[in-house]
Amino acid sequence: MNYCCIPKISLKVSCIGLGTWVLGGEMWGGAQEKDSIDAILSAIDLGVNFIDTAPVYGFGKAEEIIGKAIKHKRSKLIIATKCGLEIKEKRISHNLTPKFIREEIGNSLRRLQTDYIDIYQIHWPDANVSLEDSLNALNDLKRQGKIRHIGVSNFDKKLLVEALKHADIVTLQNQYSILERDIEKDILPFCVEKNIGLLAYGPLAGGILSGKYQKNPHFPKSDARNFFYPFYTKEAFPQVKIFLDELSKIKKPLNEIALNWVRQKKGVVSVLVGCRNADQVRRNIEALSWDLNVEEFEIIENALSRFFHA
């Protein structure tokens, strides 16, 4: 396993981290608890020390499964979870009020069976609550020892600049993949400038960069691949498929190409990859056995230019 340092705090995290939205089951076609626990334990055995989760993943189920799996391994791991999405009757709304944040941290600690969170992140911005008030609540939790570090997720540069006025932000978690590169415009350079570690989620773009779909799959309306990732529409999928076929010039598995493309970008400290079972974990970690070279990066850039910017 390779490890990268979160700049501000010199905390070493595995360059591939375990993303756990899929393990919650909801919005991802279901999940078996035994398979999920096996996946977590396999990742740890292979050197993964960084696990990212959130209360909204399976409406608490992902945190509960992680808590069961890491019960006797907690001291060796870096656990990140989030706050700010309220669940009522399986409906989700934004809530970053200090009162709700205090409720959420208690529930997350209980589900994860731990007394502290290494990196506690605002999951999504809440336009109805002062960011200063939300971050002051996180600062209070940090002083109490319930969290060790503060991160944010899905923030643009303007919000990140504002957040830095009120708290020591050590990480930003945003979507980043070969197919989703918006953060390169200003967010990623700003993170590099300010020594904020970028945690990249969605590096396989909802699974389409895994290489397993030769035909456009059809997911239920409630499935995240239907609404969170825009690559499975009847218009987008054929174009993406042509692009992926072009990447076959790089004689490596597509998932490894996609993960290494993100991993090797300056400012990225961990690539968060979801999984459904231990075999998927092993196949993704194989990416760390090699690096993309200059010529291979050029193949990717040329293919992107040809199929998406013509």
pLDDT in tens, 152-188: 999 999 999 999 999 999 999 999 999 999 999 999 9
Q: Where are the domains of the chain?
A: 3-308
| CB-CB contact of 1 with 35 (8 Å) | no
pLDDT at 26: 66
pLDDT at 258: 96
SS3 175: strand
pLDDT at residue 132 greater than cutoff 90: yes
Residues 6+ apart with CB under 8 A from 287: 16, 255, 256, 259, 260, 263
The confidence band for 190, taking pLDDT boundaries of 50, 70 and 90, is very high
SS3 270: strand
pLDDT at residue 276 greater than cutoff 60: yes
Class of CATH domain 3-308: alpha beta
pLDDT in tens, 11-35: 999 999 999 988 876 665 667 889 8
- Angle between helices 157-164 and 131-143 in degrees, nearest 10: 50
| CB-CB contact of 127 with 93 (8 Å) | no
| CB-CB contact of 57 with 296 (8 Å) | no
Report how far residue 274's alpha carbon sits from residue 151's, in angstroms, rounded to the nearest whole number.
20
pLDDT at residue 200 greater than cutoff 90: yes
pLDDT at 295: 96
Report how far residue 219's alpha carbon sits from residue 196's, in angstroms, rounded to the nearest whole number.
36
Catalytic residue, candidates 57, 120, 176, 201: 57
Work out the average pLDDT over 236-260: 91
Instruction: Please say if 213 is a catalytic residue.
Output: no
pLDDT in tens, 40-51: 999 999 999 999
Work out the average pLDDT over 267-273: 97
pLDDT at residue 310 greater than cutoff 50: no
Q: What is the reported pTM?
A: 0.92
Mean pLDDT value across the chain: 92
Q: List strand residue ranges (DSSP E) for the chain, in order.
A: 3-6, 11-14, 16-19, 50-52, 78-83, 85-88, 91-94, 117-122, 147-153, 169-175, 197-201, 268-273
pLDDT at 308: 60
